[in-house]
Amino acid sequence: MGSRMSSVARLTAAAAAAGVVAAAIALPAVGGTGAMFVSASEDLGIKPEELTEPPLAERTTVLDAKGNEIAWFYEEYRESVKLGEVAEIMKTAILSIEDYRFYEHGAIDIEGTIRALAKNAASGGIAQGGSSITQQYVKQVLLNSATTDKERNAALEASYARKLKELRYAMAVEEKYTKDEILEKYLNIAYFGAGANGVEAAAKRFFGVKASELTLAQAATLAGAVQDPNATDPNLGKAQRAKLLSRRNLVLDTMAKLGKITPEMAAEAKKKKLGYKGTAIPGGCTASETPYFCMYVRNEVLSNKVFGKTPKLRSQFLNRGGLTIHTTLDPRMQKAADRAIKKHVNASDNPVASEALVEPGTGAIKAMAASRKYGNNKRKKEMSYNVVADAVHGGGTGFQAGSTFKTFTLITALKEGMKINDGLSVSQGFRAPYYSSFKNCKGENIGDPSHTVTNDEGGGGFKSLATGTWQSVNTFFMALEQKVGLCDTIKTAKDLGIKRSDGLPLLEFSTFTLGTNEMDPVTVANAYATIGARGKYCAPMVITKITDRNGKTKNYKPQCNQALDAEVADAAADILSGVFTKGTMRGVGGIGRDAAGKTGTTDSQATAWFAGFTPDLAGAVSIGDPRGAQDHKLNNITIGGRYYGSVFGASIPGPIWKDTMLAALKGVPATEFTPVNSSRFGGCGSSCAPVRVEPDRSDDDDDSDGVLEDTDIDTTFD
């Protein structure tokens, strides 16, 4: 016979083991109708032990400014519901198969436990659980509370020691809650498979209905899934679905046996197919209709210490907190941006267009859009990062901002006392006279006398702050930056929130004014929004308030400061408004209300931009090839079904901005710019245009045209 026991010996051992355990465990029927006490209980110290019940991981819901859901975040897909929101047939099914005497016994079902103990003793292990609903709830709490592998293993350990510990906790739970409360907690914490935690999530995941709408066959299916949700996970394949179908039919038979349904009802339900729909688990930015804004919100919470001191705490706050996050997203403005981009750039194009809209005076991001869909499918040219934002908010390295940076040099000149018609005479090429002609903010000489900057747009001659800006003359802005100081220009940009998209320090070269730093649309749009707000800088914001699972709300206000003299901002807006009528955007035109902006194109059309603003809304649009803008320039290219020899700021970004603004501001009363303080900025001061000299008619051989040549004007400033 060896080590095998005879059937008689096995039954004897089982009975003995059951008797020993029953005599060793205190089994007060707390809350039940019966009572059973064993004298050894006090000696063994089997007393109720308070169970720590951390809040369940609940989904966080993100809303736009109108209260529409735009995204969900969660660690576990769960939607907790009240017991009254669960179909009666579901309650009946789960109790029938898991604990049909739930409302009759206390923390432990004596009959069920003794049956399980006898079977386990006979098998030499833990073959049958015999756990009550209360004990199962305790086990799930311990499992959900585990933060280490050791704690998780302890919660799943197949031992009598764990059973005893669960019993102590279960006794306390039954003292603390009513039976209905325990059942509600169990139904919300139980895992059903296919990524669904809790009965509401399971009903939606499995059948596309709410827990209150479950039919008999559906309820029996979910009730059958909780015993071993991984083995019966219908999302894993045919074998698992077959096991789940078998479990469903067992539940139906058990319900009929217990008299909860008729045999005919069970037979009819068993004829039905499994009916698993595998409804996509909602949530995350991939599923959002506004994925780039969604990513910004997610990364704002995960990176900002306002929402938690450590990354772990911030992650738990977002993914387990059951929050309702209210955001700044304006659905009408978002649609305007989406449609404008789609009109000019196809999702299949290699270059990517992206746009951000920001509200002046608050920093509220109203929309974030891009020509490509967010995702990981390279074949479909989906974007796997937030092309509209900086690296902190899920973005990449960004694109060089080009001539949009000339605005910061313009503002610096106005700050330092130059008037609108003050200017400089420049030629078609600019070369730093000396190494000391430009100094970075460390005071180091970084002028490059060997490098010549030429003009892509506009020509040489005298250019005022206004005409130089309208024509976007490179050589003028190089000379202007030399005059006002590179470091002062950089400080102006920083005051308006300018920082590199990749998070690295700004490159402080003499060509700073030409936009050689990589930027993202949110940062550039927000800088221009500061001008529109008369110099009031507000940090970009997407979250206005957060309501926690208990209904407590915390509001978040704009973080602002006066970064720029209001009258300087007014003068800059006045000059930049001429870009639409007299400058690089004159072919595109304005939007029928006060607006200002600046085109931007980098060397040889590597990237193109337009950034503009009204007092009510600012926006920035960029376009470039994410494969590498310098290697894949915007020349001789088809974009949006249209061929372009060369793409400039007014070619695609400008029209996108215009179309967006026309739709986004439709019905919004127009706010006018504050008029320029003419006494401060009107006319010209010390840098007026050269005076035309009348020719000396007495000398017939004089071929002078009476205009001072560029070479007659000293453009060297130390």
pLDDT at residue 42 is higher than 70: no
pLDDT digits (tens, 9 = 90+) for 386-438: 999 999 999 989 999 999 999 999 999 999 999 999 999 999 999 999 999 99
pLDDT tens sequence across 554-581: 999 999 999 999 999 999 999 999 999 9
What is residue 272's predicted lDDT score, i.e. its pLDDT? Answer: 96
* Helical segments of 374-485, H only: 406-415, 465-470, 474-484
Q: Are 359 and 329 in contact (CB under 8 A)?
A: no
Distance CA 386, CA 401 (A): 17
Q: Is 150 helix (H, G, I), strand (E, B) or coil?
A: helix
Looking up tokens 């000391």 gives 436
Q: Which CATH superfamily is domain 399-681 in?
A: DD-peptidase/beta-lactamase superfamily (3.40.710.10)
Q: By C-alpha distance, which of 534, 438, 527 is closest to 487?
A: 438
**Interatomic CA distance for residues 491 and 503, integer angstroms:** 17
pLDDT of residue 1: 38
Considering only the C-alpha atoms of the chain, give the largest distance between any 2 of them, rounded to a whole number of Å: 140
**Alpha-carbon torsion angle 488, 494, 498, 500, nearest 10:** 90
- Secondary structure (3-state) at 657: helix
Mean pLDDT of 339-367: 97
pTM: 0.81
Topology (CATH level 3) of domain 78-270 = Penicillin binding protein transpeptidase fold (1.10.3810)
Cα 192 to Cα 203: distance, rounded to the nearest angstrom: 9
Q: Percentage helix, strand, coil, to 5, in the chain? A: 40, 15, 45
DSSP H or E stretch at residue 667: none
Partners of 368 in beta bridges: 356
Using CA atoms, how far apart are residues 213 and 206, in angstroms rounded to an integer?
Answer: 12
Query: How high does pLDDT run on average in the chain?
Result: 87
Pairing of strands 324-327, 60-63: parallel
Q: Where are the domains of the chain?
A: 78-270, 399-681
pLDDT band with cut points at 50, 70 and 90 for residue 243: very high
CA 383 – CA 323 distance, rounded (Å)? 28
Range in 25-39, 41-55, 103-117, 262-276 the model is least confident about? 25-39
- Strand intervals (E) in 541-647: 543-547, 553-555, 560-562, 596-601, 608-613, 618-624, 635-639, 642-646
In the predicted model, what is the mean pLDDT of residues 660-689? 95
Q: Are 710 and 427 in contact (CB under 8 A)?
A: yes
Average pLDDT, integer, range 256-282: 94
More confident residue, 352 or 6: 352
pLDDT confidence tier of residue 126, bands split at 50, 70 and 90: very low
Within its chain, how far is the Cα of 309 from the centroid? 19
Overall average pLDDT of the 249-272 stretch: 97
The whole-angstrom separation of Cα 671 and Cα 360 is 12
pLDDT exceeds 80 at position 499: yes
Note the pLDDT of residue 586: 96
Confidence bin at 2 (pLDDT 50/70/90) = very low
Q: How far apart are CA 623 and CA 644, in angstroms?
A: 13
- For residue 250, the model assigns a pLDDT of 97
Span 101-109, average pLDDT: 82
Per-residue pLDDT at 25: 42
Asked whether residue 524 carries a pLDDT value surpassing 90, the answer given is: yes
pLDDT interval class at 252 (50, 70, 90): very high
Residue burial 65-76, b: 16+ Cβ < 10 Å; e: rest: beeeebbbbbbb
Pairing of strands 77-78, 196-197: parallel
**Would you call 214 exposed, middle or buried from its count of C-beta atoms within 10 A (0-12, 13-18, 19+)?**
buried
pLDDT value of residue 11: 33
CA 245 to chain centre: 39
The predicted structure's pLDDT at residue 29: 38
Beta-bridged to residue 624, according to DSSP, are 352
**Would you state the structure tokens that stand for residue 644, as one six-digit string?**
């372009």
